[in-house]
């Protein structure tokens, strides 16, 4: 079988199918959404603007019937999340959460967001248990603003009594405006780890008090060795280190991607790099092959079944044309959309946006269907952001839908 797309949905679909004994090839045009993700798995944070309380899987029944979660069922969603957690554990990725209820993790804006899985370095309770909080100020790092973080944290009820300090660190390179990813890759090296330790030692000496301390950092604790780096630095500093979820590029997402690629290799998935699918060849009700524009020219790839996880508008999985027309990029299926593009958005940016719910309609097996409900073709499955019926930004459900639908497609193909 062939999986198209190397984001969360595509990788989970490929690993799931290969774990069932399927021979799987994965066509990867790029790194997928994980390259810009913050490393958290949001399953369901809000329904109709209301915060989800308790286990988010229990709130799936409150969603509309065309939501991907409702299509595949709450039991399948729960199975997929357990599968993802096992993959991370078996491949050495330290994962926290996944029980009881959503946790609220700190962001680089000083706010908190609800999520289901996260790394221990993002645990909010570490902040709550500290006597003082040291916020690292890295003016040479893009999109990290210590003053804003402190102002937002100071308004949190559970943190109001904490002593908070802002301490500036020096850059590890002469020029400014580096990204957290550049810093994380440097910290992965022995020289980078020594640099960060020396900077944090200076920060703590300037605001030393002998009390329990939490140090708030951008996500710079390495990409390949983040857990061990955090453990060593925490011990050396006698302080808890906390990473904030930050804007792209996605240090946390790349950590997960690295883990899933290792898992995919372990079950025999073959990855075709730089493969852009440009055409589908269909005979009757079945797809017989996809044509990839890859290194060396076009290549026809035949398979018994196909899983399409090419993302939404930003990733090129969905294409908008003049006149309010929307289609799926590979098969060219015309998709339902409001005739007037003015109706694609709502005036209040905090409302659920109609354009976000545009996508491929499927049956419960995730085969694409006509408005009458007929599958076309029946050996093709869709997963992830290409699907219709949900607003992942408004719901905080993006990675959860990717995992659940990728798993379901991989189990059905």
Same domain, 50 and 195: no
Query: Do residues 281 and 291 touch, judged by C-beta distance below 8 A?
Result: yes
> Hey, what are 327's tokens?
């289609």
Task: Give the total number of structural domains in the chain.
Answer: 2
Three-state DSSP at 60 gives helix
- The verdict on residue 101 lying in a domain is no
We report the CATH number of the domain holding residue 313 as 3.50.50.60
Same domain, 133 and 234: yes
Same domain, 124 and 22: no
Q: Which alpha helices (H) appear in 280-353, and where do they start and end?
A: none
Residue 260: C-alpha distances to residues 83, 200, 257, 399, 406 (Å):
12, 32, 5, 14, 13
Same domain, 121 and 191: yes
Q: Work out the pLDDT band at 47, boundaries 50, 70, 90.
A: very high
Q: Which domain holds residue 372?
A: 2-96+254-412
Residue-wise pLDDT for 135-188, tens only, equals 999 988 887 889 999 999 989 888 888 999 999 998 887 666 788 999 999 999
Same domain, 305 and 348: yes
- The verdict on residue 102 lying in a domain is no
We report the CATH number of the domain holding residue 217 as 3.40.50
Whole-prediction pTM: 0.94
Query: Do residues 360 and 368 touch, judged by C-beta distance below 8 A?
Result: yes
Give the end-to-end CA distance of the chain in Å, rounded to a whole number. Answer: 8
User: For the CA atoms of 15, 17, 22, 26, what is the dihedral angle to 10 degrees?
Assistant: -60
Residue-wise pLDDT for 74-107, tens only, equals 999 999 999 999 999 999 999 999 988 999 999 8
Q: Work out the pLDDT band at 373, boundaries 50, 70, 90.
A: confident
Same domain, 404 and 289: yes
Query: Do residues 220 and 184 touch, judged by C-beta distance below 8 A?
Result: yes
Same domain, 258 and 362: yes
Query: Do residues 40 and 341 touch, judged by C-beta distance below 8 A?
Result: no
- The verdict on residue 103 lying in a domain is no
């Amino acid at each position: 079988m062939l999986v198209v797309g190397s984001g969360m949905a595509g990788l989970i679909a490929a690993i799931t199918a290969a774990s069932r004994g399927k021979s799987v090839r994965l066509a990867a045009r790029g790194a997928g959404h994980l390259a810009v993700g913050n490393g958290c798995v949001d399953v369901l944070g809000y329904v109709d603007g209301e915060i989800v309380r308790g286990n988010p899987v229990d709130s799936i029944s409150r969603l509309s019937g065309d939501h991907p979660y409702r299509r595949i069922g709450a039991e399948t969603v729960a199975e997929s999340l357990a599968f993802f957690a096992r993959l991370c554990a078996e491949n050495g990725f330290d994962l926290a959460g996944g029980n009881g209820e959503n946790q609220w993790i700190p962001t680089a804006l000083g706010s908190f967001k609800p999520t289901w899985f996260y790394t221990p370095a993002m645990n909010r309770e570490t902040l709550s248990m500290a006597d003082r909080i040291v916020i690292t100020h890295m003016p040479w790092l893009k999109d990290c603003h210590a003053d804003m973080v402190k102002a937002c944290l100071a308004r949190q009820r559970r943190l109001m009594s904490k002593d908070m300090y802002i301490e500036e660190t020096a850059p590890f390179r002469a020029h400014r405006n580096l990204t957290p990813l550049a810093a994380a890759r440097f910290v992965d090296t022995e020289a980078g780890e020594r640099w960060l330790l020396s900077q944090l030692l200076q920060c703590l000496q300037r605001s030393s008090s002998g009390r329990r301390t939490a140090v708030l950092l951008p996500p710079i604790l390495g990409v390949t060795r983040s857990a061990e780096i955090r453990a060593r630095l925490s011990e050396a500093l006698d302080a808890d280190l906390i990473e904030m979820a930050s804007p792209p590029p996605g240090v946390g997402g790349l950590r997960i991607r690295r883990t899933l690629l290792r898992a995919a290799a372990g079950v025999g998935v073959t990855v075709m790099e730089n493969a852009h699918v440009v055409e589908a060849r269909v005979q009757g009700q079945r797809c017989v092959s996809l044509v990839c524009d890859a290194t060396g020219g076009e290549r026809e790839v035949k398979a018994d079944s196909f899983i399409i996880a090419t993302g939404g508008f930003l990733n090129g999985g969905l294409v908008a044309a003049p006149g309010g027309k929307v289609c799926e990029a590979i098969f060219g299926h015309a998709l339902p959309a409001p005739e007037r593009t003015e109706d694609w958005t709502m005036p209040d940016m905090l409302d659920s946006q109609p354009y976000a719910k545009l996508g491929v309609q499927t049956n419960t097996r995730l085969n694409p269907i006509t408005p009458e409900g007929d599958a076309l073709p029946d050996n093709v499955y869709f997963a992830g952001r290409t699907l219709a019926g949900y607003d992942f930004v408004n719901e905080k459900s993006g990675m959860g839908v990717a995992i659940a639908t990728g798993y379901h497609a991989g189990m059905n193909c």
